[in-house]
Structure 1
Amino acid sequence: MPSKRIFQSIILQLSEASKHTIGVIDSHSVVVASSDLQQLDSTVPGIIESYDGDNDIKRIGNRVYCYIAHNKRVEYCVYVEGLEESAECTAKMVAAFLTEIKEYHDDRFDKGKFIKNLVMDNILPGDIYTRAREMNFAMEVQRAVLLIRVNAGNSISVFDIVSELFPEKQKDFVFSISETDIVVVKEIGRDIDLRDVEKLAGSIIDILDGEHYVSCVIGIGTIVNTINELATSFKEAQLALEVGKIFDNERVITTFDNLGIARLIYQLPTTLCEMYLKEVFRKGSIDSLDQETLFTIQRFFENNLNVSETSRGLFVHRNTLIYRLEKIKKITGLDLRQFDHAIVFKVALMVKKYLDSNPTKY
């Protein structure tokens, strides 16, 4: 909010072009600026409370009041003394001018808006540090960016719930970028690592899902040390959600740093992916594998190619599993018990998942 000094300076300049006494009342009914210096710091009881949300102009006695409100909450009220019609015109003019000043000041000095514009890459690189210094914003601090994505059409305000989880409003910032996406920029200590950030994400999911029955997924970007890296971290969180949706849609927390080979495949041209599948498999062989076989392969990979552990996990005899692996070898030409063949098959399955997600062809 602009300071009293700024408002007082503006009111004194405007009053030079008007015969009326002009003043500004804050949300606590206190006169914070006036062309009549004797009225400064006095109170106007009931004027803020009488605002009904519909009429911005009100005449009481010899004063015209013009409200400056946001979301039906009064932030300031301009008053002009005088019974003439010009008093109302003056009140409207002053209110419009102060609204513009307030919006400019908020855009320039509001840390929340600054962070949102920074994350959304809406600030020129050369202006970042200048703006940060103007508002005494800590520039060389470790921060994490979390992107929370919820299902559209929730009846409760997920944004309000998430905001309440981060009471340090000068250090942690929460804002919405769409109906489904909420961004959290969390300041963290130097002793905090990615696992701690994942725990934080887990606690957010527990509260949203466990207490409010709102399902969500969270993407986490790389932890950054300077404010000019926040936009990159946000893009990484977005990418983490997109890649996670394709390659592991059961995972609710995906970190960019742990995407591994999935990130590489996601960035490959589709023509190259299609060529890879044709080179690795006989025509149609990968499509001939049924769900039971694919499930067996998944468990085999999860148990680090250990036949005994996999057979126990699947509750099948060891020989039954070996028979299935031989069947896979016969169909695809790859023996998953061999490390090199297993890697080729693992990558091929991920490539197929990527192509099945109908990416843009190029």
Structure 2
Amino acid sequence: MKLEELLHIPVFNGTQIVAGSAGLEREVLTVNMMDAPDIITFLKPNELLITTAFHFKDDLPSLLLLIEEMGRQNCSGLGIKTKRFLGTLPSVLIERANELAVPLLELPVEPSLGDIVNKSLSHILDVRTHELHNAMQAHRQFTHDIMKGEGMVKVLVDLSNLLKTPVLLLDPHLRLLAGKPQRQTLTAELDQLMSERCVVLSPPSTFSSFSFLKEERSVLTLFPVYTYQQLHYLGVEAELSPKDRSTILTIEQAANVIAFDLMKEQALNQNRRRIQNEFFGKFINGSFSSADEIISRARELGLPESQRYICAVGQLDGGDKSLSFMQYKSDQDRIADHIVSELRSFPQTIRLFLLDKQYVLLMLLTDEWREVETSFLQGLSRLQDRLQTHNEASLSFGVSSYAQQLIHIPVSYKEASEALYFGGMAGRCRFVELYQPKEVPEILRLIPYAHLKKFYLETFQAFIDETIKDHRLLLQTLSVYLETHCQLAETAKRLYIHRNTVIYRLEKCEELLGRSLKDPEETLRLRLAFRIKALLPEHELRE
């Protein structure tokens, strides 16, 4: 309790505040009576020392030294029975006490020092007992809320009513989990602080306060809520003093009760995440026996059948291969929890799945992709920045084209994985790569060069012989014919020849190939061969 409050009890009647009135706000934890010459050795912080000053009556320098040491030790104050031995307090002592803001009290002759100590300690103990009683009452109420199944929201409401100010539950990244802030801009300001790394999220020993200076002054006091995995926070929209022990004890009781409820939720979330990840892994790998089973299981996880989806696959760039399995899983869960926290700020509904070393985001697409593409990609970029800032994790994403229905998700997953792979092959980090459908030449370049050459030579073997008359014209006619989707009139128009000439040349081509140009398989083979021809150097077109 404060020294100013302690001085109001009857045992201090007649006490005069001679100096150091600026320090009356000092906390008093104990009261001690000392008349030994080595008093300085036994000083303690937040201690009110009372004495007759017998050993200082002829030693003013030692008394000054005592006041200075009490200032350094943050003692509560010094009470002296001046009428016993000193008579009056020296002016130099009063001046020094004022400078150090150490309260200097002139105690009356009666009561005795022993009575002052006993009754002061008894009063402090009564106050502490009352504080503990109130804390226990609050703890019972908060526990009752949880046991009745009303959850942590009811605890926050009860605590807000006790404190007469809003109380919020914040996740490890200062995102609002429960509670209603007094200022609607508070969540946006916290988000901005986290973006700029203005808040150091180290566990405070008791609590910490900081303010936002906007149109009005607003103070948020954070209390740690410890769980075995993460640190959450209780945010009280008021400035609290460490001396307000009753209020702090009440908040700490609420924090303890909420911590246990959070640990229960974390255990449930872990089990839920494991079930989701197992489903998604089997879905992608085609392990389900029927589409009906997929649809039924997905519906339980909130994934409708007739819904379009966008898939984004993320993976850490590089990575420390020396990590143990347990350390790797711990880091993966920590990053996954951070991703879930960040996904709350996305305007779209997004599910997170863990598949091996990948973080798979599945967005339910309710609007046209072109309408949400920009905001979604900006959200991924913001997520990357947050992970880098607060977890030192560099994460890259590949993004698929959209799946028309639930059963098409495996295809979208493969597209996103392919985009992620090619982005990584380019040597980039912390990128977001969109899937691009491959053109025929790009696909052909993925085939070994020797196989391409072999396919071309086998297809046009009959045309390679230079002794064949007009073999180049035949190939040109055949190429234009295939490009015009086998339209004779259009082929003749492009080559500036008669339609019958086109027919004659095509019949000659069929004779050399030994196959009909009306066969779809044959025309597909010829089209691919012409595409390969564009990729091969001229000198490679002959054996």
Q: TM-score range by the shorter chain?
A: 0.3 to 0.5
User: With structure 2 as the length reference, what TM-score do the two structures score?
Assistant: 0.29
User: With structure 1 as the length reference, what TM-score do the two structures score?
Assistant: 0.41
Larger RCO (CA under 8 A, 6+ residues apart): 1
